[in-house]
């Protein structure tokens, strides 16, 4: 590379990495909590343990990793500039970490004061983050459906956190609100409007780029995001319409488009000309198969009221969504983003290209595929544990171990970055 080429103003590498480094350890906490709680944790989604586990993954793992990725993804994929990323990350991340721990402790030990303390911290942290990200996403001159999906996703995050805050305050102060309907809507916006919308938007960009597939068809990317948004609004109608059939009417089409996204991504992987079987491709396959399983099980629970009425059916869906879809897809993404960022930032040091190590040297392939196998085993054990409570502790330990291995792999990548950086700096000085 030409040493005089100047690189873009991407945020310092420490901005995304501080979020990536934190995320896996919340997964470890969730696994340990599950192993410690034992067989009753999965009895229903309303047990204190299940609520705490859900938020350890949703806020600790997913929101941390997704926020860190957004800081990096906005300049790289849609050419937007996040305002003072280091300052925003310095403020947002500690607030988010503290708020997550308070909320989880509040849910686990049924402590109203902790729940109330978490709410303003979330509103401040996520509010600030949403404003900064929304400004970047609306000011960029870029176009395309990845950008629109990201814009809708950041709106989905705002709705999720507002509803979550209302729910936490109602639990803390015993406010009379329709808890079940509000929880269903909060969950749909968190998993669908924020999580899946962002995953889909990002995958329009990264699946062809990193997994060497054909691009997502234009009709699909134009239709998926707006349709998902529309169906989430319809799903939210259950709050206003006192009709028991409504969740069914809005729920089926919602499951259908989830399946369409999962099926389309798998089809693109299946029909690519150059087959690569790296950890990211495999992780995406696990995530999309879990999404299809979620859609099929959801439809079965709607159609068979006897199984649908079992409180464990929602726990089953939760395991598929959180551990099967999101932890898998996010881990796969981090295994690609981290080596790529290492490479990109090492390039910026001004060394000749030959001096910058190949991306494949940043995390050993064996370490990633080994961790992937353990993760798949953990997801399978978690799914069995929903119906066989005797397996709960083993499932918890496996999930904790798999997340710890992920954390260790990411620490290794960052240490390698530091090592290569010091070598390049020394050689630049030497010449």
Distance CA 122, CA 125 (A): 5
Alpha helix positions (H), 237-319: 246-270, 279-303, 305-309, 311-319
Region from 97-105, 190-198, 255-263, 268-276 binding other proteins, contact rule CB under 8 A = 268-276
Site track 136-175 with other proteins (rule: CB under 8 A), x = hit: ------x-x-------------------------------
Integer Cα distance of 116 and 297 in angstroms: 35
1 binds other proteins (CB under 8 A): yes
Name the phi and psi angles at 56, rounded to 5. Answer: -60, -40
Closest alpha carbon to 192 in 143, 168, 227: 227
3-state secondary structure of 304: coil
**Of 2-10, 299-307, 408-416, 420-428: span binding other proteins (CB under 8 A):** 2-10
Residues in region 207-236 near other proteins by CB under 8 A? 208-210, 212, 214-215, 217-218
76 sits near other proteins (criterion: CB under 8 A): yes
Q: How far is the CB of 283 from other proteins (least distance, A)?
A: 15
Candidate segments 105-113, 271-279, 316-324, 363-371, binder of other proteins by CB under 8 A: 271-279
H or E stretch including 107? Answer: helix 85-108
Mask of contacts with other proteins, 348-387, x by CB under 8 A?
A: -----x-----x----------------------------
Please report how close the Cβ of residue 336 comes to other proteins at its closest, in angstroms. Answer: 8
| Shortest distance, position 62 Cβ to other proteins, whole Å | 24
Q: How far is the CB of 270 from other proteins (least distance, A)?
A: 16
* Shortest Å, Cβ 150 to other proteins: 13
Tokens 């099967």 sit on residue: 324
In whole angstroms, what is the distance from residue 313 CA to residue 121 CA?
33
> Distance between terminal CA atoms of the chain?
16
Kindly state the DSSP code that residue 245 receives in the 8-state scheme.
T
77 scored as a contact of other proteins (CB under 8 A): yes
Q: Name the residue nearer to other proteins (CB basis): 205 or 285.
A: 205
- Total binding residues toward other proteins, as defined by CB under 8 A: 33
**Those residues with Cβ within 8 angstroms of residue 375's Cβ, 6 or more apart along the chain or in another chain:** 283, 286, 327, 328, 331, 402, 406
Smallest gap from residue 9 Cβ to other proteins (A): 7
According to the binding rule CB under 8 A, does residue 40 interact with other proteins? no
Alpha carbon distance 424, 252 (integer Å): 55
Least distance from other proteins to the Cβ atom of residue 341, Å: 11
Subset of 191-210 contacting other proteins (CB under 8 A):
205, 208-210
430 contributes a contact to other proteins by CB under 8 A = no
Of the candidates 262, 284, 269, the one whose C-alpha atom is nearest the C-alpha of residue 329 is 284
Q: Is 73 exposed, middle or buried (0-12, 13-18, 19+ CB in 10 A)?
A: buried
Q: What residues have CB less than 8 Å from 83, skipping those under 6 apart?
A: 132, 135, 136
How many whole angstroms from its chain centre is CA 194?
A: 9
Piece in contact with other proteins (CB under 8 A), picked from 69-77, 92-100, 224-232, 423-431 = 69-77
- Between 10 and 325, name the residue whose CB sits nearer to other proteins: 10
Cα 240 to Cα 182, 229, 246, 340: the distances in Å are 11, 18, 10, 47
Residue 415 makes contact with other proteins by CB under 8 A: no
The site for other proteins (CB under 8 A) is made up of 1-2, 4-10, 75-79, 142, 144, 205, 208-210, 212, 214-215, 217-218, 273-274, 276, 340, 343-344, 353, 359
């Amino acid at each position: 590379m030409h040493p005089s080429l100047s690189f873009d103003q991407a945020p310092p590498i420490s901005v995304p990495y501080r979020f990536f480094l934190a995320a896996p350890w919340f997964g470890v906490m969730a696994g340990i909590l599950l192993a410690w709680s034992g067989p009753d944790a999965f009895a229903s989604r309303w047990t204190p343990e299940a609520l705490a586990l859900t938020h350890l993954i949703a806020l600790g793992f997913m929101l941390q990793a997704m926020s860190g990725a957004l800081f990096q993804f906005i300049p790289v994929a849609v050419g937007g500039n996040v305002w003072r990323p280091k300052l925003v990350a310095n403020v947002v991340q500690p607030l988010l970490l503290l708020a997550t721990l308070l909320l989880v402790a509040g849910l686990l030990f049924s402590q109203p004061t902790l729940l109330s303390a978490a709410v303003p911290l979330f509103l401040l942290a996520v509010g600030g983050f949403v404003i900064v990200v929304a400004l970047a996403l609306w000011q960029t001159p870029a176009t395309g459906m990845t950008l629109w999906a990201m814009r809708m996703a950041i709106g989905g995050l705002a709705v999720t956190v507002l509803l979550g805050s209302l729910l936490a305050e109602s639990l803390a102060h015993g406010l009379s609100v329709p808890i079940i309907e509000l929880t269903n809507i909060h969950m749909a916006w968190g998993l669908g409007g924020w999580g899946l919308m962002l995953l889909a938007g990002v995958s329009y960009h990264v699946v062809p780029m990193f997994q060497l597939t054909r691009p997502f068809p234009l009709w699909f990317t134009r239709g998926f995001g707006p349709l998902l948004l529309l169906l989430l609004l319809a799903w939210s109608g259950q709050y206003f319409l006192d009709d028991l059939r409504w969740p069914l009417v809005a729920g089926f089409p919602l499951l259908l488009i989830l399946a369409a996204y999962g099926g389309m991504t798998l089809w693109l992987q299946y029909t690519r000309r150059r087959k690569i079987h790296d950890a990211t491709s495999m992780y995406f396959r696990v995530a999309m198969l879990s999404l299809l399983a979620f859609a099929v099980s959801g439809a079965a629970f709607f159609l068979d009221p006897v199984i649908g009425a079992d409180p464990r059916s929602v726990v089953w869906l939760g395991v598929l969504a959180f551990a099967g879809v999101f932890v898998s897809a996010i881990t796969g993404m981090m295994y690609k983003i981290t080596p790529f960022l290492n490479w990109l930032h090492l390039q910026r040091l001004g060394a000749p290209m030959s001096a910058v190590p190949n991306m494949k040297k940043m995390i050993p392939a064996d370490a990633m595929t080994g961790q992937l196998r353990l993760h798949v085993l953990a997801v399978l054990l978690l799914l069995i544990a929903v119906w066989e409570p005797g397996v709960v502790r083993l499932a918890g330990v496996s999930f904790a171990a798999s997340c710890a291995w992920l954390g260790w792999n990411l620490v290794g990548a960052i240490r390698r970055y530091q090592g290569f950086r010091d070598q390049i700096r020394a050689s630049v000085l030497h010449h």
